[in-house]
Amino acid sequence: MTKILRLILGDQLHHGHSWFQKVDASVHYVMMEIRPEATYVRHHIQKIIAFFLAMRAFAQSRQEAGHIFHYYALNDPENRQSLEGNILQLIEKEGFTHFEYLLPDEYRLDKQLQEISQSLPIPARADDTEHFLTSREALGHFFKGKKTYLLESFYRDIRRRFQILMEGDEPLTGRWNYDAENRRAYDGKVPIPSPPLFDRNVEELVAMIEKAGIPTLGHLNAQCFPWPVTREESLQTLYFFVEKALPFFGTYQDAMVPDEPFLFHSRLSFALNTKLLSPMEVIQAAIAAWEKQPAQIHIAQLEGFVRQIAGWREYMRGVYWANMPGYAQKNYFEHQAELPHFYWTGETRMQCLSQAIGQSLSQAYAHHIQRLMLTGNFALLAGVHPDAVDEWYLGIYIDAIEWVEITNTRGMSQYADGGLVATKPYVSSANYIDKMSTYCRNCYYDKKKRYGPKACPFNSLYWEFYERHTDKLARNARIGMAYRNLQKMDSDEKAKIMAQAQFYRQNLNSL
């Protein structure tokens, strides 16, 4: 008699998957909270809690729908704390004849499950997660033989194939891209909406994690856990977003405001990455809101959002599968510095970094521009080894799963892939930070100064970064202006800037 064991990983919580279309007594599901997954990097405590809560809620909801589940809690005495150990235990105990799993999104787990499958005493096979719009291989095929992958062409192809905001082969509103209208600093003209924050008591879970000795980082209010971890909460967060925040999403997408971590962002990355929400339903909800209130939601806001999900998210996944495992070793600039200690505490006199890091520690969240143009920008200017940068990003954010973390961090933010993802390094001086935020107003450092007492470190480090990497960057047409300015710079002035940068790079921990 056929008896199937199906594995569901913690980021495969897809309620609508075809596996769950019908209840079958010969099919059992297994989910497990295991040490290796909780410790492969030091995770933010909110990230571990979110995963365990979401997994437990998912197993419960599927059980309520009639499916048979085996769930290993972290502290279950039967838990062998490994995928293979628990799978073998169940095969022995329950006499399964077949093993099935869903294709993991991470290279590490993909390899592990292929190896486990080969060593099992029963046949094994993998199914698709039915989550992404494109396949793992789609981007690799699309850009075959190309040195750089241009997001825009991949994104347009997806829009065409899925007929997202399209009229036949052309964009519905006549334009593909509204970036020029978007990305302004926040001017206070519209109030920032308060997103739904859930308030679960997670004291028991925290105690379990502490007792198991799982190292964590960051802070948590255990009486009031705010993240959406069920399908219903995720939908609530989605509907709130499309109604209240989408009307200003694009406009303030790049803005940074002290003590306002979420602004007009969706907070949907955890729900999307764990597959509680599908990318298509998120896109459709946004389009439906736009169709319902065209006077409130301009197409620029909608297209800016659709681009993130149908464009960047699918693109990053494709980059990952086209380039792993080598991508994890990329270090184009051969950077070697350690991550400054303040990344773990937020204790720096640079107001922008203190805020972005402090907020990351307290919320397990920072929005895209904070990740790219504050923490990422500084790490790149300071010459931090991409391994250390990756480890930090992979641990600290609620949504950090390697396929989307490493491509954003090593690729987009650190330019460690030499320009496969980004057409130029995302670095800036204080000028950009001041344009997009109000952090500089209350900063110890002087945003205008490039050297001397209280000179903003971003300024000298910015010029020294270009100077240091002249051989690798000077021919890049997109940054020709920076090199022309460097050439024109008075030699005495330049020497002072370089000396200031050297001093800061030697004293990163005391900034």
Ligand X SMILES: Cc1cc2nc3c(=O)[nH]c(=O)nc-3n(C[C@H](O)[C@H](O)[C@H](O)COP(=O)(O)OP(=O)(O)OC[C@H]3O[C@@H](n4cnc5c(N)ncnc54)[C@H](O)[C@@H]3O)c2cc1C
Among 132, 186, 393, 451, binds ligand X (CB under 6 A): 393
- Of the two residues 55 and 59, which places its CB atom closer to ligand X in the complex? 55
DSSP code, position 41: S
408 contributes a contact to ligand X by CB under 6 A: yes
- 216, with CB counted inside 10 A (0-12, 13-18, 19+), is buried
Contact 77, 30 (CB under 8 A): no
Among 44, 371, 385, 469, binds ligand X (CB under 6 A): 371
Residues 48-67 touching ligand X, rule: CB under 6 A, are none
- Of the two residues 47 and 468, which places its CB atom closer to ligand X in the complex? 47
- Of the two residues 85 and 196, which places its CB atom closer to ligand X in the complex? 196
274 contributes a contact to ligand X by CB under 6 A: no
- 330, with CB counted inside 10 A (0-12, 13-18, 19+), is middle
Q: Minimum distance from CB of 214 to ligand X (Å)?
A: 20
Per CB under 6 A, the segment of 114-122, 159-167, 365-373, 501-509 that binds ligand X is 365-373
Calpha distance 376→380 (Å, rounded): 6
Q: Minimum distance from CB of 408 to ligand X (Å)?
A: 4
Contacts of 117 (CB under 8 A, 6+ apart): 99, 101, 124, 125, 126
266 contributes a contact to ligand X by CB under 6 A: yes
Q: Minimum distance from CB of 396 to ligand X (Å)?
A: 9
| Exposure class string for 418-435: b at 16+ Cβ within 10 A, else e | ebbbbeebbbbbbebbbe
Per CB under 6 A, the segment of 14-22, 395-403, 427-435, 464-472 that binds ligand X is 395-403
376 contributes a contact to ligand X by CB under 6 A: yes
404 contributes a contact to ligand X by CB under 6 A: yes
Calpha distance 118→126 (Å, rounded): 12
Report the chain's C-alpha Rg in angstroms.
Answer: 24
Among 90, 116, 310, 412, binds ligand X (CB under 6 A): 412
267 contributes a contact to ligand X by CB under 6 A: yes
Contacts of 444 (CB under 8 A, 6+ apart): 349, 350, 351, 454
Among 8, 256, 257, 272, binds ligand X (CB under 6 A): 272
Per CB under 6 A, the segment of 1-9, 259-267, 347-355, 451-459 that binds ligand X is 259-267
- Residues 206-245: x/- map of binding to ligand X (CB under 6 A)? ----------------------------------------
How far from each other are the two terminal CA atoms of the chain, in whole angstroms?
67
Calpha distance 115→127 (Å, rounded): 16
372 contributes a contact to ligand X by CB under 6 A: yes
- Long-range contact list for 202-208, CB < 8 A, 24+ apart? 202/49, 202/53, 205/49, 205/52, 205/53, 206/45, 206/49, 208/73, 208/74, 208/75
354 contributes a contact to ligand X by CB under 6 A: no
- Which candidate, 457, 496, 497, 465, places its Cα nearest to that of 483? 465
Among 131, 265, 275, 335, binds ligand X (CB under 6 A): 265
Binding site for ligand X (CB under 6 A): 265-269, 272-273, 308-309, 312-313, 316, 367-368, 371-372, 376, 393, 397, 399-400, 404-405, 408-409, 412-413
